[in-house]
């Protein structure tokens, strides 16, 4: 990730830290826009509304990010909770678009 701030370990001022956080937040928003674009694609592709919620897939996604969090030394439980919210928001968004496409 390229930012106007130093890498976290190189920051020496709060201004640098905040610049890095702001740049990271913008990058995350770009990634979320892409992720939600995939939800629109899923809504278009799935033939049955009952296929929108897939608990096995949700579990697999959360387990994968939990493993990654643990490997990266991040707070595993907090990351799992964030992803649970993200996946639930994605499912709701997909339902909304599935219904819109077929109304």
pLDDT digits (tens, 9 = 90+) for 30-44: 999 999 999 999 999
**Per the domain annotation, does 7 fall within a domain?**
no
Total domains in the chain come to: 1
**Per the domain annotation, does 51 fall within a domain?**
yes
Residue numbers of the domain that contains 20: 13-101
For the residues 41-58, what does the mean pLDDT come to? 98
Residue 12, helix vs strand vs coil: coil
**Per the domain annotation, does 2 fall within a domain?**
no
**Which pairs from 53-57 meet CB under 8 Å and 24+ separation?**
53/91, 53/95
**Per the domain annotation, does 4 fall within a domain?**
no
pLDDT of residue 1: 46
Cβ 76 vs Cβ 69: under 8 Å: yes
Cβ 103 vs Cβ 92: under 8 Å: no
Would the annotation count 35 as a binding residue? yes
Residue 68 belongs to domain with CATH number: 1.20.59.10
Would the annotation count 94 as a binding residue? yes
Would the annotation count 2 as a binding residue? no
């Amino acid at each position: 990730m390229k930012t106007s701030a130093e890498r976290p370990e190189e920051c020496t001022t709060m201004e640098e830290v905040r610049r890095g956080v702001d740049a990271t937040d913008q990058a995350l928003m770009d990634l979320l826009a892409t992720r939600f674009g995939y939800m629109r694609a899923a809504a278009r592709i799935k033939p049955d509304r009952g296929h929108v919620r897939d608990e096995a897939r949700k579990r697999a996604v959360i387990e994968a990010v939990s493993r990654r969090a643990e490997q990266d030394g991040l707070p595993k439980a907090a990351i799992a909770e964030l992803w649970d919210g993200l996946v639930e928001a994605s499912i709701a968004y997909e339902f909304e678009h599935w219904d819109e496409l077929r109304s």
